[in-house]
Structure 1
Amino acid sequence: MRYFLFLVLLTQQAVAQVVSGVATYRLEMLYNPQSNQYGVSTYELRFNKNQSEFVMINNPSIDYEPYGIIKDFTRKRMIAPEPTFDKNYFVEDSLVAIPWEISNKERMIGKWKCNAAYATIRGREYEVWFAPDLALEDGPWKLYGLPGLILDAHSKDNKVKIVIDKLEFRDSSVVVRDIYNFGNPDNVSSKKFEKILEESIKRHMKIDNTTSTLGENISVTHKLSIPSIDIYPFQLENDKK
């Protein structure tokens, strides 16, 4: 009985300590379906008990630290950098609950026992694996809201794959960078940004406004010419091959 109680307390202590750290993910995106060519990048999820930031860390083409997707669980807000052909925007929205369907499927990822969950997010069907013993309701990109950190995620069309490479806990709280402000009047909502992006693509590609809308008659190659982790290819609502 004493040994059982010790294990319970040890597990509770391990779970409670997951309040600050850095999770490193390998992100693969299918750019060329004909040749099955994936683009590979490395991202970090830097988290504390109130906030997290998901940001690229290995892009040699830029000489500055890029902006990331920030989730603020205290404010219940999320903000992300979004480029168009014309300018960059900060897109701010509420943290809306993702309608996850948790299954009884289990697998080990490293030393962590994980459960599977499913949801359709921004027009794509995702399967993710989360670790209940890592009591952090977060994950890469805009994936969050499960009772444990998401360690593995992929879209069912295999265009997006995200797998954890490393997980480090910190004794002191990781500071999420104050790189842009929530509530800034210059921020736009995701719905407003969709319209801005559509008009930007039409202007750039010289597409007739009366015959095309975002996701229709615009090739995936053209869509991917804007290097954004947030719009391409994660969440195009009409890009369902």
Structure 2
Amino acid sequence: MNRLNLYMLFFLFLSNFVKAQSINAFAVYNTKLAEDNFSFKASLYFDSNHSTYISKQNNNPVWKIKRESYEGSYLDIVSDEVYTDTVGHLVLKTVNTPILTVRDFCDKNEPFIYDDSVEIDWKIKSETKMIADLKCTRATASFRGRRYEAWFAPEIPVPYGPWKFNGLPGLIVKLKDKKEEVVIDLFSIDLSYPGKELIQIDDTAKNKISFRQFRDCLDREWERSDKEIKATFAQLQAEHPSLEIELEAPKKRIATELEFD
């Protein structure tokens, strides 16, 4: 059976499923994106027609995460600062459209809204395995510069998944890229969740920008932060010349999405 017929059958099945049963579900994922030095829990609320992915909510405009570890006599400190707020980072999807509405941050106290057209060319494989009591099927795809493996659950026939990952004939429950810089696993799921009102995003003229503009903003912010960190380390080294300091800084902004059409 070719892929076109497979997807036609899937959407026919999904349409019949929606008529027969209304889904209100809530899933929690353990999530690690490439740009983060830490894992976090993120939530996916979905029904038969919409999904809302929520992550990195915090009461402070700058969520500071710090991890310390010793390698012999050396102290290794890894820290992150995430710009966010009580609403958090959002990805909203509606069935039968490739357009995602994304709420994300480039700077403190400055959430931006952008639309992102996402169509992932999944290759569905024959392998199956049980994950969280769900029979899952393997799929692979290349998406924006990374090669991914995903496992989805056909028994939950919705085309949703964590973050921007979607488009399979079943809920995505596990995903990682080839380098394992992006790793997402289902932590829990409630298929009888009483429902959550769909979040409405305020996309006023001030904070609605293009995806290209948002990426440019992230690049500028990374360059500013990189210069600031290097200046701080240079000053510290000048003040303490006997102190052995090693700064491991990337040469460019680390990102989950590496290439764009």
Same fold at TM > 0.5: yes
| Whole-angstrom distance in 2 between the partners of 1:63 and 1:137 | 28
Question: Which amino acid is 1:102 matched to?
Answer: I
The residue aligned with 1:77 is 99
Deviations 1:48-75 (Å, cap 9, x if unpaired)? 1221111126757477232411112266
Deviations 1:124-178 (Å, cap 9, x if unpaired)? 1110000111101110010100000000001110111111011112365432211
Matched, 1:89 2:88: no
**Residue pairs, 1:90-169, within 5 angstroms:** 90-94=113-117, 96-169=118-191
The CA deviation at 1:85 is: 4.1
SS in 2 for 1:138: coil
Matched, 1:191 2:212: yes
**Residue pairs, 1:1-241, within 5 angstroms:** 17=21, 19-29=23-33, 39-56=38-55, 59=58, 61=63, 64-73=86-95, 76-85=98-107, 87-94=110-117, 96-170=118-192, 172-181=194-203, 186-205=207-226, 219-220=249-250, 223=253, 233-237=255-259
- The answer to whether the 8 Å contact 2:34/2:256 transfers is no
SS in 1 for 2:222: helix
Tell me which moved more, 12-21 or 140-149: 12-21
Question: Which amino acid is 1:161 matched to?
Answer: V
| Whole-angstrom distance in 2 between the partners of 1:193 and 1:119 | 25
The residue aligned with 1:213 is none
Structure 1 pair 125–93 and aligned structure 2 pair: CA distance change class (3 A): same
Tell me which moved more, 59-68 or 38-47: 59-68
Structure 1 pair 75–115 and aligned structure 2 pair: CA distance change class (3 A): closer
Question: Which amino acid is 2:188 matched to?
Answer: K
- The answer to whether the 8 Å contact 2:122/2:141 transfers is yes
Question: Which amino acid is 1:43 matched to?
Answer: A
Structure 1 pair 116–92 and aligned structure 2 pair: CA distance change class (3 A): same
| Whole-angstrom distance in 1 between the partners of 2:120 and 2:34 | 24
Tell me which moved more, 149-158 or 119-128: 119-128
Question: Which amino acid is 1:152 matched to?
Answer: K
- The answer to whether the 8 Å contact 2:57/2:86 transfers is no
The CA deviation at 1:14 is: 11
Deviations 1:186-211 (Å, cap 9, x if unpaired)? 4222223223333343455459xxxx
- The answer to whether the 8 Å contact 1:31/1:39 transfers is no
Deviations 1:1-29 (Å, cap 9, x if unpaired)? xxxxxxxxxxx989964722101111134
- The answer to whether the 8 Å contact 2:54/2:91 transfers is yes
Unaligned runs of 5+ in 1: 1-11, 33-37, 208-217, 224-231
The residue aligned with 2:67 is none
TM-score by length of 1: 0.69
Q: CA RMSD in A?
A: 3.5
